[in-house]
Structure formats: structure tokens, C-alpha cells
Chains A and B, each alone.
Chain A
């Protein structure tokens, strides 16, 4: 019988405790009825106060009377509705405060959206400085200027290929100041887009490609790049450039970040860094580091890597502006088409978009130069084509652009996190 009682107590401990209290009160009430009634009433009041938070109000009033500062929640710099309208998405979490939303967007790499003219005025000074610091850290400024674009194709007769013909058929294009990502978009960065529901936000996708979006899935049928599994990048390749994405996916990701794909002229200027010698003469680098190719500066076929490397490798292959891997590793989607509309002899199997930069499997060094352009079907999701984003200086808010272009950098002391 004792074992049955013990097992019952173990199964119902709260019930047993309540029963003991009731028996005790009944015994006391028999002896001391008024004392027992008072104790029961006090217990009920205490339980109600804890349940409904009645105790906080007197405590706050007491603190005010005593002159103790009460921390007031700071007024939101930007309302949640305004930011949601700007980002075309509802707030991530119900009741999430705006500072959390700004930090979330910074963590996702969407700082460019915060520097838009419609948004930046509502940011606090500290938030703006943090966002500008992120921009300066992640992107390199390509100053305005002229870039000489060589012929798009290479004459098959090597005897004809000479400097005079190249000078005759080259084009000089003026480029406005633009920011270019220092590194190509990595799997980790693109995963933010996938997890953030970028494939479901139809507003950021070209209307013409909507019927083909069902094909933009990974190997397990989840939305994502071609080589992924269950919406996740391959293990160990988080810092490698994202590949297996079409031009439309690259464009949608760029819009989601508040940026865009670079034009051929912008990319070429950032890579070859033209220097004027006066009298319309320009000197441009064949490769971002100089005119001679070296396997230790870029990841191409001759480097014998047989695959991609992390986006921040090859420090000795930096461009003058501090951009990594403009040559090698992966081809990069451009904003414009391949070929020239004036070239009536060219016949493409499908309208192609331009790609530049060469990849890890580019066999010839002369096809991994700052001027070489190739093309690919915009729907193809190849294993060696990635992307790098651009942001025009004209797209920034004037005050933000002025701070950047005037060369004012943000120091660590000016950053107050939280």
C-alpha cells in the first residue's frame, strides 16, 4: 500500500501538495477560523497580481517619485510600415522593432536599400554611418572616366590582328562613378536571398521569365541554384562564389539587394583601370595586375585548381581599386547583351547576355583578359558562371553619395552598435 501511495504522489505531485494545503487550512480554520480566512484571501490576491502584472505599476510610480530615471524606449527612427513599403515585404517578425530590421538588412547585405533617397532621411545618424561603413567595406568605388572597349570578336586571321586595326575599331565609352562589389557573390550571401523568400517575391523578377521560374530549382526541387541540395549550398563551399544561376536569378538577387548587374563598360573600367596619356591616348591593363599573365594571380585552367576557390583568395590578383578575382574563378553576368546590334553578320542561337572575367576552366589566357567578352543564354545555369553586383553613385541619397565621394571614411569610434 505504501508503494501505491508513493507512486501516486510521483504521478500527481501538484495535486498532492494542494491536498495537503487544503487539509492544513481546514484544520487551522477549525481552530482559528478568521486567521485562516485572511491567509486564503492574501494568497488569492498575490496570485492575481503576479498573473496580471499589477505589481509593475506601483513600482514604476515609486521610481518616478524617487527620481530614478526610467528607460523610455527610443522613438523609432523609421516606422515599420515605411521600411516595409520600401522593401516591398512585410516585417519579418510581428512586433519587431525598427533597429532590429535595420540590423537584419545589414546582415543580409542589403545596405544599398537603406541608402536610397526615400529611406536614408529616416535613418538615425549612427545607422547611416554604420550603413556607409558597410558600403565602403563591401564595395569599391570606380571613379568616372573613359574606358576604351576593344572589338567584341577576334579576327580569325592572326596576321590581320594588329594595333592599328584595334585602335580603329575600338570604342571609347564614358562611365559614371559606380560602386562594384569587392568580391563575387558567395553561396553564403545568396543563401540569405533564398532563405528570405527571394524566389517567392514575384515583384523583383522580370515578368517575361515567370513561366520559366519552375525550372529555377536545385537538385532536390527546392528553389535555389542548380548545384544546391534542399536549399543549402554544398558543404564547405559557403565562401565560394555562387554558380548554377541564370541571368534572371542574378538580376532578381541584385534587385533584392538594392543593386544591379554591372555594364560591360563599368566592369572593364574597374578591371583595366585606364590611364590617360593625353591627346586621346589611353593605357589600359590587359589584366587587373598588369599586362603579363601569372597563374598565381588568378584561378584559371593553368592554375590547376580544377574548381572554384573562396571569393577572397588570390590577394596578389587585386585590381587597382581593390577588387578580388576580376579574372578567373567564375564568369560574371553583365547587364547588357552579347554582341553589337550593329554587327549584322553575327547569328546567335538565342539572345545572349554578356559574361566577362574568365573562370577556373578557361583554357587560354587571352580569353581571361579585361577586354574579352563571351556570351551565354540567359536561361542557362552553368557550373562556372556567377555574378558581381554594382551600385551607381547616382542611386544613392545625395548626402550619402557626398560622404563617400568626398573621401570621408567612417572610423570605428564613430560606430555605436546597438
Chain B
């Protein structure tokens, strides 16, 4: 004997899946409940937040080789701007945006540098924040990822290895390029990498109206507190130790400026199990962290909603 009964169908829930949600970085289609974009592994929360707040956040890239200090710089920058209101103030959008400064400050507080950023894009920390500036009436949205230096090098040497990098840099409104001032003093590998990176950026977008040659580029000499004369005159220091990069930067980019920054007052090394050496900071005294970002923000044309 059979009985009939009424069962409510939840098919209406499937309606969400019928519409693809475009990734904010690569515009690739994804399902509604996807956490990461299946094409570029950028967090889908960026797209959802953009749609929810009806904003179009600007994107800024922090680039540099392995060990140049991207994670420390970005983590300290976000933490410093979130603790102060002048001249800039940053408010995080989404819990995932606090992960980077949380991990960075937790390590630096115990006199240890954060671990190396993995090459896999799904392990990168993304920051989506609202920036309030005194010179602007309205705050604006900003997205900044902490990309791995090795991944960047591989993308430059072998294009399309990491599509997320190419997609992201194509849409970026500006870039902060970190250069290790100590390694710049010791050799030319930083100079050569910077030249390759600048060339890569300049050829990324062919549009003469919106190409990278019109976008602001900031060069930051990191670990400058351990180099004599770097803080006094970063331009002169860069011109002396990295003439090729300096010339290329001024020739190919319209808006560019060089800054010096430092986080650790002094560093030492400690032997680890296995015979390696691990560097650690002796103290944390940030210097020149906010100024490059402040200049870059002042140069970026804000997107209209």
C-alpha cells in the first residue's frame, strides 16, 4: 500500500547555482558558494563584497623577490594603519583580511620573521580594506594580496605559469616594488630582477592610454636601517647601486618615486637543526612604512562606483 505525501522541493536553492559569479580578479565564472576562484584561486569573497557594497575596489600590487620583505612590509603596513587615524586609516573588509597582519605581528612580536609565503596561490593572504584619507571626502576600497616572490619570478621567466599574477597585474592601479637594500649593496641580482620586473610590467598592457607606463610605481628599498646612507637619500642610493633599474624606471614610467623603509633595527642569525641559519630581528622599529603607500594612494585615480 502506498501513501501520498507532500514533500517541499528545495529546488529554489539551486537557482543560485544557475548564475555564474565572476571572479573579481580574473573574471572567471564560479559557483555561488565557491570559496576560491577555480581559475586563479583568488578568494571569491572579494566578488561577493564588491557586489554587496556596490563598490569597485582598486587593486595595488606589492612585488619583490623572495626575502625582500613583502609579507613583513604589508603586514606591518596594515597593522600600523589600523592602529592610527592619521594620515591614513585602514578598516578591514572581511575576517580574511586580518589574517596577514595577525600572522605578521604574532611573529615579529616574538622577534621572529614570518615564514616564507607558499608559492601556491590558494595559500596567499589577501587584504580587502577600506582606506580613509584626510585629503579625500569619501573612503575608497582597496585590494592587496601578499604574493610569493618565487611565483612572481617564475611568472616573469615563464609566462602563464601563474595566471592569477598576470590577471591581477593587468588590473592593478599601481605597484609597490620592494628591493632588498642589503643585497643591492652586495651584488647586482636585485638590480637585474627589478629591471626584469619593470620590463614585464611595461609590456603587460598594450593600451597606450591605460598601460603601466601611466600607472604609479613606487620603489621601496627595504632593510634600509642596516645600510648607511639609504635613509638619508634613497634616490642617490638607488642610482649608485642600481643604475640600470633607476634609468629604466624613470624612462618607462611617468609617476615613480623611491623610498627607504625598515622594520627591524638590527638582525642576527641563529643556527638551526640541520646546520642552517635562521635570521631573526633583534627589535622592531618600523620606519618609512606608510610614506610609500601614502604617496601611491595619492597618485591612484579612484574608481567611480
Contacts and interface: CB of A to CB of B under 8 A. Distances in A.
Interface of A: 153-156, 158, 161, 301-302, 304, 338-339, 344-349, 352, 359, 361-364, 366-367, 374-377, 382, 384
Interface string B92-111: 00000000000001111111
Contact of A345 (B111, B271, B287): B271
Contact of B284 (A338, A346, A364, A384): A364
Given A345-B270, A347-B270, A348-B268, A364 B109 contact: yes
A158 B270 contact: no
Give chain B's interface secondary structure class. Answer: mixed
Contact of A361 (B106, B266, B277, B286): B286
B284 A367 contact: yes
Given A346-B268, A347-B269, A156 B285 contact: no
Contacts of A363: 76, 108, 284-286
A375 B271 contact: no
A352 B162 CA distance: 43
A399 B283 CA distance: 43
A349 B267 contact: yes
Contacts of B105: 364
Interface in B249-305: 265-271, 277, 280, 282-287
Nearest to B285: A361
Contacts of A362: 283-285
A110 B124 CA distance: 59
Interface of B: 76, 83-84, 105-112, 225, 265-271, 277, 280, 282-287
Nearest to B226: A349
A375 B282 contact: yes
A38 to B, nearest CB: 81
Contacts of A349: 267-269
Contacts of A301: 285-286
Contact of B265 (A161, A344, A376): A376
Contact of A158 (B110, B266, B267): B110
Nearest to A346: B270
Contacts of A361: 285-287
Contact of A374 (B110, B269, B270, B282): B282
B99 to A, nearest CB: 17
Nearest to B279: A347
A347 B225 CA distance: 19
A375 B112 contact: no
B108 A376 contact: no
Contacts of B109: 364, 366-367
Query: Most B CB atoms within 10 A — which of A352, A362, A363?
Result: A363
A376 B83 CA distance: 28
A348 B265 CA distance: 14
B266 A352 contact: yes
A377 B267 CA distance: 10
Nearest to B268: A348
A292 B218 CA distance: 40
A385 to B, nearest CB: 9
A339 B280 CA distance: 14
Nearest to A381: B228
A375 B285 contact: no
Contacts of B280: 156
A154 B109 CA distance: 10
A156 B110 contact: yes
Contacts of B84: 304
A302 B80 CA distance: 10
Contacts of B284: 362-364, 367
Contact of B268 (A302, A347, A359): A347
A348 B271 CA distance: 11
A345 B270 CA distance: 5
Contacts of B286: 301, 361, 363
Query: Most A CB atoms within 10 A — which of B83, B110, B270?
Result: B110
Nearest to B231: A383
A304 B266 CA distance: 22
Contacts of A377: 266
A383 B107 CA distance: 25
25 contacts: A156-B112, A156-B280, A158-B110, A301-B286, A302-B83, A338-B282, A347-B269, A348-B268, A349-B269, A352-B266, A359-B285, A361-B285, A362-B283, A362-B285, A363-B76, A363-B285, A364-B108, A364-B109, A367-B283, A374-B266, A374-B283, A375-B266, A375-B268, A377-B266, A382-B265
Query: Most A CB atoms within 10 A — which of B84, B106, B225, B285?
Result: B285
Contacts of A348: 268-269
